[in-house]
Structure 1
Amino acid sequence: MDPIELPLTTDRLQLRTYRESDAEALLPVMSREDVSRYLLQDPWTAEDAKAEVAKRIPRTGLETESRALALVLETAEGLDDIEGSIVIGAIALWHDGESTEKAEIGWILDPAAGGHGFATEAAIAVLNLAFDHYGLHRVFAGMDARNTTSAKLAERIGMRQEAHLRQDWWSKGEWTDTLIYAMLASDRQRA
């Protein structure tokens, strides 16, 4: 399989691989309690940001040793009300277990950038990559059931809720429910 051409671009975004400077760029988002609330990680410290970004730098494609693609969401130059380009979140795609025909997708968006369709735009672009370039059969997203914003995004991009697992995950001192959304190659919509 040929490597993917990066960055991916959409009408308003550039989805690019991580670089060391993203530790500083993502820290204001990932250090927020309201952002990390439904994630498996606690809010990032400056040291966490450096370590987490370092882990993500080699995740440059499903065909690589990492079996993962981790991308930073950056606004395109010249958008109304945004000067220059800014990092607004991240999205990732990774193989689920040993199978190379299915993968999991996950996303994080700065709440300040919410409500403008950026996450939808990025997720559809990554789904198109998953199905068109990688030829995946299935892409799924698992999320804390209390994360209604993420669930609405999954529905908006055409994923179907397949499961609501009751108290299946111990996270941050409590049992939490998990929602599973998925899309098959035959279900998808194009960007």
Structure 2
Amino acid sequence: MDPLDLPLTTDRLRLRTYVESDAEEQLRIFSREDVSRFLLEDPWTAEVARTKVSERMRRTGLDTESRALALVIETADGLDFLEGSHVIGDIAIWLEDGSDEKAEIGWILDPAASGHGFATEAAIAVLNVAFDHYGLHRVFAQMDSRNIASANLARRIGMREEAHLRKDWWSKGEWTDTLIFGMLSSDRQTA
């Protein structure tokens, strides 16, 4: 298999691997209570941001030792309503334990960047890589059922809701429901 050609680019986005200096920009997003509310971790501190970015820097492809690809989502230069390029989130895909054909996808977007279709554009680009470059059979996403924006994104990109698990996850002092969405290579949309 040829190495993945990075960064990935779309009409309005650049999806690139992490560098050490991303800790500050991602801290701005991941330290927010409204962002971390539905995540499995607490809001980031500066120290946590440095550690998490260091971990993500090693996730450079499904065919690497990490078996994962973590990308910074940043806007492309020259968008009419934004000046310059801005880090607006994170998207990652990682192989399911024991499989080379099934992977999980996850995304986090700065709430200030929502409503412009950026998450949809990024997710479709990563799904295209998953199916076209890596030849995956299935990609799935799991999320807190209260995360309506994430569930809507999964539906928008063509993922199918496959399960609603009731009170199956203990998170931040309460039992929460989990939604599971899936997409097979045969039922995907292309960017």
TM-score range, shorter chain: over 0.9
Partner of residue 31, structure 1? 31
Partner of residue 93, structure 1? 93
**What is the alpha-carbon root mean square deviation over aligned residues?**
0.5
Partner of residue 175, structure 2? 175
SS of 2:20's equivalent?
Answer: coil
Q: Which runs of 4+ in 1 moved over 2 A?
A: none
After superposition, where does 1:99-114 map in structure 2 within 5 Å?
99-114=99-114
Distance 1:173 1:55 in 2: 26
Partner of residue 76, structure 1? 76
Partner of residue 162, structure 2? 162
Distance 1:182 1:119 in 2: 17
SS of 1:105's equivalent?
Answer: strand
SS of 2:53's equivalent?
Answer: helix
Distance 2:37 2:100 in 1: 30
Identity %: 76
Partner of residue 150, structure 2? 150
Partner of residue 49, structure 2? 49
Partner of residue 6, structure 1? 6
- TM-score (ref. length: structure 2): 0.99
Distance 2:40 2:3 in 1: 30
Amino acid at match of 1:29: I
Amino acid at match of 1:18: Y
Paired positions, count: 191
SS of 1:83's equivalent?
Answer: coil
Partner of residue 134, structure 1? 134
Amino acid at match of 1:152: N
SS of 2:143's equivalent?
Answer: strand
Distance 1:157 1:88 in 2: 19
Q: Tell me how far 1:2 sits from its aligned partner.
A: 1.7
Provide, for residues 85-127 of structure 1, a one-character-per-residue CA deviation record: whole Å limited to 9, x for no partner.
0100000000011100010000000000000000000000000
Distance 1:27 1:81 in 2: 23
Distance 2:39 2:87 in 1: 19
Q: Tell me how far 1:3 sits from its aligned partner.
A: 1.4
Amino acid at match of 2:127: L
Amino acid at match of 2:168: D
Provide, for residues 3-55 of structure 1, a one-character-per-residue CA deviation record: whole Å limited to 9, x for no partner.
10000000000000000010001111100000000000100000010000000
